[in-house]
Amino acid sequence: MVKVVTVYTSNSCSYCKVLKMYLEARGITYKEKNINDNNEYMLELVNRNIMSVPVIIIDDNVVIGFKKDEIEKLLS
């Protein structure tokens, strides 16, 4: 089953870069929403009461931060 993966990032976030490298190494296709590129992306996070990145949404599951074990569990 294909998972829908969305990643919220910012240009200055080192964990965001690590998360993207991790997903790419695993061959996971994702949609990136960089909050520096579009204010709407930041508003989407604020509406969820999230004030930090990276945020990864796998189907309807939200993970704040690069929590490898939790992400792997949701991707399997």
Single pTM value for the model? 0.93
Dig out the tokens for 55 from the structure: 């945020």
Domains of the chain: 5-75 (3.40.30.10)
Label residue 2 left, alpha or beta by phi (over 0 means left) and psi (-120 to 50 means alpha). Answer: beta
Residues 12-70 pLDDT 10s: 999 999 999 999 999 999 999 999 999 999 999 999 999 999 999 999 999 999 999 99
- Phi/psi of residue 3, nearest 5 degrees: -95, 145
pLDDT at 1: 65
